[in-house]
Amino acid sequence: MSRHTADVVVIGAGILGAAAAHYLSRAGQRVVVFDRGAPNREGSGTTAGNLHIQAIHPSRPGQEVPADNGRFLPLQVAVSDMWESVELELEASVELRRHGGFMIAETPHEYAELRAKQAMEAAAGLPTELLDGDAARAALPLLSRTVVGATWCALDGYANPLKITPAYLASARRHGAQIHGYTPVTGIAATRSGWRVTAGGDTYDAPAVINVAGPWIAQVARLAGIRLRMTPVAIQMHVTPRMPETMRHLVQHIGEGMSVKQVTAGNVLIGGGWPALRLDLDGRSVASVRSAGGNLALAARVLPFLSGVRLLRVWAGPLAATPDELPVIGEVPGAPGFFVAGGTYAFTLAPLWGETLCRLVAGESPRVQVSDLGPDRLLIDTQSDELDLVANQERALEGAVRDSVQQGSTRRKEQA
Amino acid sequence: MSDRDVLIVGGGPAGLSAALSAAQGGLRVALVDEHTELGGQYFKRRHPAVVARHGDFRPAGTRLVTAVRQAGVDCLTGHLVWGVADDGATLLVAGPDGAPHALRARFTVLATGAHERVLPFPGWQLPGVVTAGLALHLATIDRVPVGRRVLLAGTGPFLLPVACALLEVGVRVVGVAEANHPYRLGRHAAASLRYPARLRELAGYLATLVRHRVPVWQDTYVLSASGPDRLRQVTLGGRHAGTVEADVLCVGHGFRPNVELARLLGCETRPDPVVGEPVPVADVVGRTSRPDVYVVGEAAGIAGVHAARARGQAAALDILARTGRAVPPARQRRVHARVRRLARFAALTEALFPPPLHLLDGIPDDTEVCRCEQVSAGEIRATAGLAHNGLNATKGFTRAGMGLCQGRECGTAVACLTRAANPHAPAEAFTARMPVRPVPVTALGVPPRHAAGADRGRPAGGGTPGGEVVR
Ligand SMILES: Cc1cc2nc3c(=O)[nH]c(=O)nc-3n(C[C@H](O)[C@H](O)[C@H](O)COP(=O)(O)OP(=O)(O)OC[C@H]3O[C@@H](n4cnc5c(N)ncnc54)[C@H](O)[C@@H]3O)c2cc1C
């Protein structure tokens, strides 16, 4: 067992850990990154990779907590510009595509939702356009006749998830960061001047620790004696074999879980946050065939050419979600130097969150205001019986995921 | 649960034998195969026109198929089993028209066979480089010579019958390059004397090759294949290093069991001791860690047609006994003894013809390894060489193994290159994912094109084969 020191220890080599390591090491910090497995194998490597710039739809039937569009929009506006310079900054291609996206409606009610959403976007300074069904089909003839309207946002896009996180890590490495795969963090203890992190049998003393362990955020926080309320889930993706270029845009649905786009290699990726069969935080989460059928049928209804394609692969990935469906980013109150970041849409928000973490560690103010997104709201009062409640919830989680699949009805309002 | 007792996946020698024994014993049996004809690789059927001119090929196969049909087995040909439903047991099937089906029986027997293994070398993607299996198929089933001057290379006893079959259709076989040195009197050869029938078979092939003056070069392997637009020349390394002119090169480095369905069903696997790829754990009758799932034939480990038939029979007898049918213990003992004997012979063969994985250390960085996604050995080595990456991370970063063949072709090579570049990463296999073969989305209940658009309002997820048994 040997002892090391660092300026910042980053726990988790998903896109958030990688982006944070990039910004921090570039700013001259000595960074050490740990992952329990290989980097980019969890949420960030299994994600749909959409850059969601237009608002996600606020609420769907069955959704307990609606996503707060108003709170997300300034973050989306801020990160949109940052994505433009990512490839230059990382000196790597990440197959960035900003070909714009449609969010479609199939009912008058959904169309009204689009209208409200567009007004909100305009107020946030995000340029989007509301189209009726014919205008939408004129813009994208692949859309079916069931489409009654769409919003168009030229800034929606895609980055290859299998490229971006490795590119952030490569940049961090060039700036001196150390990256340790297959090295789970097994202990975190407060010291007089910061934290002592145990990983791979060695210890690392650092004034700052960043917990970006995705679906494992709560477990990692617990190593430091901090109890956080998180609600991880597993959702799934579907991909076709490579095809000639057919569709340049991202297509989403305002009322149901659906995202479709064709990626640079030619494969069409179909997602929409449909629940996987099983969240497995010890192994690989398992995809649900029922979800696959539902998601594909929906996509083929909106984009009829999809009823003639083949399915190449289905996979599931875990996702750190918060009970209020908002991102979490900030320092844990009462634990100076212990930062947490994660939650939904972390792929889209990664450049912003990487930079924000870097600034927070340095005591600077971030480019967007995030003080209301801190982990304080997720802290579990260890004195109350809320703890038992959480333990029960955690146990119920796996069953609930399975049940929701069996009912075949729920689609997470999650992105993808 | 359907009223079927046994569902058998794969209509090769193992699946056919299992089906026949089970049906003859009074069980209700369904046999599913993705091909339109039963027989599998070994008992492949000839087109009637070819039969009319050249007679039947391996009549034993024809007899077996006929017997299976006569025994009342429900034969679902042209049906691809592509996955496992959310209940973890029902098999999901794509019909010939891409229609969704779901099948379930009390017992499932996986007889999914094996896939030819080819280890990459520079130039292996050139037109004119084919698998030994393809050359054999052309020669025996279609009676078409694969080329004029043909070289065979790789390893395994399989190369010999292929060479003989090529000779029969008038091919000039310039040589057989065998990467190992099995054909000599040594410890293993002496041991193989205990299997006179198998030995006589091999000796017969070797005699044919001698008669046609076809050299068998042992300890010899392909370094590269070259030609401007298609194969012209093969450079050999090893004991008989040199260059050989040929218009076709047939390669084969043994076989890889098709284990995807067993993995998707959650059957326990263990890493193959030589290659490290997962193989299902199964006992002498093919019982896996799942009491209702058997795995037989090449899917349970490469052992050849005789073992495949014996294993299929052993599984059927076991199911018969478990379902209360009278099975004479002596008959069971006989079959088990045969399975064990043939398994020992297979182990011997395996020891004589190990896949020459070390050759992968020598392939240049610009060798294309994953042909579907065009990923080179160098890219794989560089990615895997970063200490924090393992096999699946390397797959993700490079796309190697992500293409149409889903890693079936390049899997062994990608795993070996990764291991060599990063010996510290924990041993992994490609994650088992559905579908096991690309399927039309209609197989998941998506309405076909002409019906799409008309069904707005049907419940989401309805019509998917997620649980209900369709047939
Ligand atoms: C199928 C799917 C589709 C999605 N689609 C989109 C989309 O289109 N757009 C979008 O913006 N978002 C999308 N998301 C969400 C987005 O992908 C995630 O929010 C994001 O990738 C999370 O990144 P992360 O770095 O926080 O977590 P992760 O990528 O999950 O990384 C966490 C890492 O922490 C490591 N770790 C855990 N415990 C320890 C420990 N004790 N020690 C060391 N390391 C540890 C893990 O191994 C893992 O690598 C999708 C998610 C999924 C699953």
Distance between CA atoms of residues B154 and A136, nearest Å = 57
B126: pLDDT confidence band, cut at 50, 70 and 90? very high
pLDDT for B201 equals: 86
Could you give the angle at the alpha carbon of B436 between the alpha carbons of B435 and B442, nearest 5°? Answer: 35
Hey, what amino acid is at B270? R
ipTM of the complex: 0.90
On the question of pLDDT at B92 being above 80, the answer is: yes
Tell me if A311 and B389 make a contact (CB, 8 A cut-off). no
| pTM, to two decimals | 0.91
pLDDT for A408 equals: 41
On the question of pLDDT at B266 being above 90, the answer is: yes
| Mean pLDDT, range A390-403, rounded to an integer | 54
Give B359-421's CATH code, choosing from 3.20.20, 1.10.10, 1.10.3470, 3.40.50.
1.10.10
On the question of pLDDT at A350 being above 50, the answer is: yes
The CATH number of the domain covering residues in B4-115+256-350: 3.50.50.60
Tell me if A296 and B424 make a contact (CB, 8 A cut-off). no
Tell me if A181 and B467 make a contact (CB, 8 A cut-off). no
Structural domain range at position A321: 3-397
Pairing of strands A233-239, A313-319: antiparallel
CB-count exposure of residue B291 (10 Å: 0-12, 13-18, 19+): exposed
Least confident of A355-369, B35-49, B240-254: B35-49
pLDDT for B456 equals: 42
Q: Is A182 on the interface with B (CB under 8 A)?
A: yes
In a domain, A332, yes or no: yes
| Residue range A9-32, pLDDT digits in tens | 999 999 999 999 999 999 999 999
Q: Does the CB atom of residue A52 touch ligand 1 within 6 A?
A: yes
Q: Does the CB atom of residue A366 touch ligand 1 within 6 A?
A: no
B226-to-B135, B147, B235, B247, B361 alpha-carbon distances in Å = 19, 16, 8, 10, 20
On the question of pLDDT at B207 being above 90, the answer is: yes
Helix H, strand E, coil C: the string for B37-92 is CCCCCCCCCCCHHHHHHHCCCCHHHHHHHHHHHHCCCEEEECCEEEEECCCCCCEE
| Residue range B210-251, pLDDT digits in tens | 999 999 999 999 999 999 999 999 999 999 999 999 999 999
On the question of pLDDT at B452 being above 90, the answer is: no
B115-to-A27, B105, B154 alpha-carbon distances in Å = 52, 26, 15
- Mean residue pLDDT across chain B: 91
B46: pLDDT confidence band, cut at 50, 70 and 90? confident
User: Cis before residue B435, ω within 30 degrees of 0?
Assistant: yes
Residues β-bridged to residue A97: A158
On the question of pLDDT at B270 being above 90, the answer is: yes
Hey, what amino acid is at A289? V
In a domain, A308, yes or no: yes
User: Residue A317 maps to which CATH number?
Assistant: 3.50.50.60
A404: pLDDT confidence band, cut at 50, 70 and 90? very low
Q: Does the CB atom of residue A185 touch ligand 1 within 6 A?
A: yes
Pairing of strands A208-211, A338-342: parallel
Tell me if A406 and B85 make a contact (CB, 8 A cut-off). no
B288-to-B108, B311, B314 alpha-carbon distances in Å = 11, 13, 13
Distance between CA atoms of residues B285 and B355, nearest Å = 27
B417: pLDDT confidence band, cut at 50, 70 and 90? very high
| Residue range B308-324, pLDDT digits in tens | 999 999 999 999 999 99
On the question of pLDDT at A409 being above 60, the answer is: no
pLDDT for A387 equals: 60
On the question of pLDDT at A98 being above 80, the answer is: yes
Name which CATH class applies to B118-253: alpha beta
Domain map (residue ranges) of chain B: 4-115+256-350, 118-253, 359-421
Distance between CA atoms of residues B206 and B162, nearest Å = 12
In total, how many domains does chain A have?
1
pLDDT for A50 equals: 96
Structure-derived torsion over alpha carbons of residues A404, A408, A410, A412, reported in degrees to the nearest 10: 90
Please check whether residue A295 is in contact with residue A257, taking contact to mean a CB–CB distance below 8 angstroms: yes
B274: pLDDT confidence band, cut at 50, 70 and 90? confident
Dist. CA A274 → ligand 1 center (Å):
16
Q: Does the CB atom of residue A187 touch ligand 1 within 6 A?
A: no
B450: pLDDT confidence band, cut at 50, 70 and 90? low
Shortest alpha-carbon distance between residue B341 and chain A (Å): 38
Shortest alpha-carbon distance between residue A338 and chain B (Å): 25
A407 or B243, higher pLDDT: B243
B469: pLDDT confidence band, cut at 50, 70 and 90? very low
On the question of pLDDT at B401 being above 70, the answer is: yes
Distance between CA atoms of residues A151 and A42, nearest Å = 31
On the question of pLDDT at A60 being above 60, the answer is: no
Residue A273 has a CB neighbour count (10 Å cut-off) of 26
On the question of pLDDT at A200 being above 80, the answer is: yes
Are both B4-115+256-350 and B118-253 of the same fold? Answer: yes
Q: pLDDT > 70: what percent of chain A?
A: 90
In a domain, A408, yes or no: no
Dist. CA A142 → ligand 1 center (Å):
32
Chain A interface mutation, best of B444, B449, B455, highest count of A Cβ atoms under 10 Å: B444
pLDDT for A405 equals: 46
pLDDT for B464 equals: 38
On the question of pLDDT at B153 being above 60, the answer is: yes
pLDDT for A19 equals: 98
- CA Rg value for chain B: 23
Q: Does the CB atom of residue A275 touch ligand 1 within 6 A?
A: no
Q: Return the closest-CA partner of residue A103 out of A85, A74, A126.
A: A126
| Binding-face residues of A in 283-312 toward B, CB within 8 A | 284, 287-294, 296-298, 300-301, 304, 306-312
B41: pLDDT confidence band, cut at 50, 70 and 90? confident
Shortest alpha-carbon distance between residue B399 and chain A (Å): 9
| Residue range A38-52, pLDDT digits in tens | 999 999 999 999 999
Best residue for ligand 1 mutational test, from A47, A83, A164, A269 (most atoms within 8 Å of Cβ): A47
